[in-house]
Amino acid sequence: MENSMRLDRVLGIPALLFGSAAFLTMPAEVRAQEPNEAVAGAVRPLPTELRDGATVFRYDPETGARVVMREGTNGLECSPPDDAGFTRCYPTSSAAWRDLRAALAAEGLEGEALGAAMAEAVAEGRVQRPPFGSMAYRLSEESDRIQLLWMVLVPGATAADLAMPTGSQRDASLAGRGTPWMMNEGTPGAHLMIPINGTDFSNPGAPAELLDARGISDPVEQATLPLPEDLRAGATVSMLDPTTGERRVLREGTNTLECRPRNKETGYTRCYHRSVWLGRDLAARLRAEGRSEEDISEAMAAAGADGSVPATTFGSLAYRLYEEDDRIRLLWMVRVPGATSAELGMPTGPQRDAALAGKGTPWMMNEGTPGAHLMIPINGTELSNR
C-alpha cells in the first residue's frame, strides 16, 4: 500500500483510475473472443447511450502501441478486461497521456521509474494530465470489489475545497448501498469515487429500509440528512427570516458545509459549500426588500464582479433531499460550470425515470452553461427511491 501511495504521488494519477501494469495484457479468454464480442464487452462500464459511439482499443503488450478495434464517434474510449479483471473507459482527452504510459511500460519501465518518466513528460509539456472534472468508468465481475464504479478526477483539490466526504464507502458499496467519497485529497490523483448501485452490473444488495424523514422534528437533524454521515456533525445549519431575508444560525459548524431545513414551498432540503449561500442569501434579502428581478440580477452580477459573492467552485458537490416518491429523493450534484460532456466524458441522457425506480446513473445537465452540473442519484440508502 505504501509503495502504491508513493507511486500515486509521482505519477499524479492513481492506478485505480487508469490501471496497473496489467493494463497491457488481457486474459486468454478475452484474447480468444471474436472482435464483435470483445467490443461489446469493453463498453459495458458506460451508460447505454454512450456505448455505440465509443472507440474500443487495446495496447500491444510487446510495443505498447495502440490497436484500435473499433473507431468511435464520441469522446469516450474503452479497453477490454485486463489481467486484473477490470474493464475501463476514459474520455479521449486523456488518450495521449495513457498512450505514452503504455509505450514506456512496454519498454520495461515500471513502478517509480515509470512514474518519474510520466512526470517528466508532463513537466516538459509533451503530454497533459486528464482534465479536471473528467470522468473515468470501471467494471469488475468480482463481488469482492465495487463492480460498477465511476470516478470524477479533481487533481489537487481537497475535501474542504469541494465540500466532499472522505469516509470510505467500500463496504457499503459491496452491499449495494455506497455513496460517493473522495480519495487522495490534496494530491494530483484526487478523485471522487461514485459507486453505482441498483443496476444490472452493480453489486447485489437490497436497499436499506426506508427512513421516513418527515417525522424528524429537530431542524438541525433534519437539515443535515442530505449529507453522508461523516459530514453531518460538522455542518453549519442556518435558516432565513422569511420577512427580512436575514440569515439566522441554528448551529455553528466546523466544516465547509452549510445546510438549511426543508423548504416548505419546494419540499427540498439542501446543503452546499457555505460560500454558495452568500449569493442565495443576497438574492433573498433583495426579494424581501421588494426589489425587481432585474434589480436582483444586476446586484448579483455586481457582487460577482467585486468578489463579494464568489464564483461557483468547479467540481464542488451539492446535496439535496426530497421526501416523496414523485422526484429523486436523494440527489448529489457536481458543479462543472461551462463544461461540456465531450470535454469531461460525461453522459447527458436523463436518468430521472430510472432514478425514481432506484436504478438511475449519473448524467450531465445544462452542459456548456454556467449551470452545468453532474446529477448523481443516490440509490440503495435509507433515503433513496426504491
pLDDT in tens, 235-265: 999 998 888 888 999 999 999 999 999 999 9
**What's this model's pTM, rounded to 2 decimal places?**
0.90
What mean pLDDT is reported for the chain? 90
- Give the chain's largest Cα–Cα span: 72
Residue 231 shares a structural domain with residue 345: yes
Half-sphere exposure of 22 (CA within 13 A, CB side): 16
**C-alpha grid cell, residue 12:** 499524479
- The SS3 call for residue 172 is helix
Q: Whose CA is closest to 354, among 47, 25, 64?
A: 47
Q: Which of 130, 156, 188 is the last residue of a domain?
A: 130
Helix (H) or strand (E) holding 256: none
Q: Which of 99, 130, 161 is the last residue of a domain?
A: 130
CA–CA separation, 346 vs 329, rounded Å? 22
- DSSP single-letter state for residue 374: E
pLDDT band at 337 (very low <50, low <70, confident <90, very high): very high
Tell me what the mean pLDDT of segment 16-41 comes to: 67
pLDDT band at 57 (very low <50, low <70, confident <90, very high): very high
Strands 330-335 and 236-240: unpaired
CA–CA separation, 376 vs 123, rounded Å? 34
Residue type, 288: A
Tell me what the mean pLDDT of segment 345-351 comes to: 96
Beta-carbon contacts of 338 under 8 Å, excluding residues fewer than 6 positions away, are 368, 369, 370, 372
CA–CA separation, 375 vs 362, rounded Å? 5
Tell whether the model's pLDDT for residue 137 goes beyond 70.
yes
Q: Whose CA is closest to 12, among 123, 146, 143?
A: 123
pLDDT at 32: 56
Range of the domain at 55: 2-130
pLDDT at 223: 98
Residue 232 shares a structural domain with residue 351: yes
Residue 82 shares a structural domain with residue 226: no
222 bridge partner residues = none
Tell whether the model's pLDDT for residue 115 goes beyond 90.
no
Residue 126 shares a structural domain with residue 217: no
Tell me what the mean pLDDT of segment 156-183 comes to: 97
In a domain? residue 385: no
pLDDT at 83: 87
In a domain? residue 178: no
Q: Which of 130, 152, 179 is the last residue of a domain?
A: 130
Q: Please, are residues 364 and 341 in contact by the beta-carbon 8 Å criterion?
A: yes
Q: Please, are residues 196 and 361 in contact by the beta-carbon 8 Å criterion?
A: yes
